[in-house]
Structure 1
């Protein structure tokens, strides 16, 4: 059994409570940007199904590949989400910050990743007082491609000095998070039930473990580190 050296965490829905913020920001973005995305209910289902992916990628799909429209929607979405964060609608998942602290104290390196832009990620981290919580934070633009591609996890592995992809663990609340972890070669690609997707969806994506919450990850990692 390979020792776990690095744990890559998703943010919204995994370490940061979502509570419908993404859905509300999407609706606000469509209203503000005035872009056509087809049937709104179908578009919202697509947003939920693709939780964890880079948001600009989602908007490219919804606008039929219209890059200018996708960028307008993405900007409006990020602005709406940022307003929610500024209004205090941003809270940690219970036990998440403590877990990252425990892992770092045990010599396990940690990364926080997201499908949001760097600006939005930094707003969330600042609001929570998490700017120094993890060893690394990453957004898709800094890694190449967002999830379900393995770029975020593999970039974290490289930047944090990992010795083997099997020494990597990933954790997220969506099938996209799980698939990205599996594609990166992580020996642990855990799914948690505090966000977008249910246990059946996470298992279908290939989750090695399905946990009630990220706080339940500690024994799994420490027994292998």
Structure 2
């Protein structure tokens, strides 16, 4: 049986109405370089500083450390503005799915390409928290690990935080290719793609996975989550 379910945030458990895509595009294009839609999608779900550096380089720019930090601040400011205009909400039935898993004794962690200064206020706005009486068992942000997705480190860090030692008893779910790659690289027993992001079933199924589901609401129906 699964002991830990690790979920991505934006596009997987949280509906943020495409704000991350908009903010990342804005942060890169405001340097004067173009952003191709396919490249933008490739870098979704990764550490946002890494994404900005990569997309600026792909567009023909030179992403030195000062530029990356400046554009990360532009990304963060744009995102805060968009979230104020259109507040994020839980993806349909995501909160009840997480509750159902925890009621079965399965620990739940969220991982994200956001750093603490973006992720934690976002979770607070939804009333999601860790600790005694919280709605989650752990949250892992990009600034806690040496590299973000597709590296496996955020998943392994979630295991450390929740005391789970067997990666075969971990389920990983996300809406991007790098979510699937991170789960595969971590050795997770179950790797799930969900269709609540920007990618189609056909696009997700091109990459290693165990299941592709309509959304996280379907995760408690998987046989691996039932004792």
- Do they superpose with TM above 0.5? yes
Q: Which residue in the other structure is 2:60 paired with? A: none
**Structure 1 counterpart SS, 2:102:** helix
Residues 21, 44 of structure 2: 8 Å contact kept: no
Residue 125 (structure 1) aligns with: 123
The aligned counterpart of 1:203 is: 205
Give the aligned partner of residue 171 of structure 1.
Answer: 173
Output aligned runs, 1:39-54, within 5 Å: 39-40=34-35, 42=36, 44-54=37-47
Residues 115 and 146 in structure 1, CA contact (< 8 A), matched pair in contact too: yes
Alignment of 1:63-102 (within 5 A): 63-64=56-57, 65-102=63-100
The equivalent residue for 2:192 is 190
Equivalent-residue separation in structure 1 for 2:224 and 2:182 (angstroms): 22
> Can you list the C-alpha shifts for 1:187-223, whole angstroms capped at 9, x where unaligned?
1110000002221222222111000111001021664
Aligned to 2:110, what secondary structure does the other structure show? strand
1:162 alignment partner in structure 2:
164
Q: Within 1, Cα distance between the matches of 2:174 and 2:120?
A: 19
Structure 1: 5+ residue stretches without partners: none
For 1:149, the equivalent position in structure 2 comes to: 151
Residues 166 and 185 in structure 1, CA contact (< 8 A), matched pair in contact too? yes
State how 1:15-54 maps to structure 2 within 5 Å: 15-30=13-28, 34-36=30-32, 38-40=33-35, 42=36, 44-54=37-47
Distance 1:110 1:223, change over 3 A: closer
CA RMSD of aligned residues (A): 1.7
> How far does the alpha carbon of each residue in 1:122-160 deviate from its partner, in whole angstroms, 9 at most, with x for none?
121011111232100111111221100000111111221
SS across alignment from 1:63: helix
Q: Residues 221 and 17 (structure 1 numbering): CA distance in 2 closer, same or farther, change over 3 Å?
A: farther
Conserved 8 A contact 2:16-2:83? no
Provide the rounded CA distance (Å) in 2 between the counterparts of 1:200 and 1:7: 24
Q: For residues 101 and 174 of structure 1, what CA distance do their matches in structure 2 show?
A: 23
| Partners of 2:223 and 2:136 in 1: CA distance | 16
Q: Which secondary structure state, in structure 2, belongs to the residue aligned with residue 107 of structure 1?
A: coil
- Per-residue deviation, 1:30: 4.4
Q: How many residues align?
A: 218
**C-alpha distance in structure 1 between counterparts of 2:155 and 2:203, whole Å:** 21
* CA distance in 1: counterparts of 2:70 and 2:46, whole angstroms: 18
Q: Distance in 1 between matches of 2:158 and 2:223?
A: 17
- For structure 2, the residue ranges without an aligned partner over 5 or more in a row are 58-62
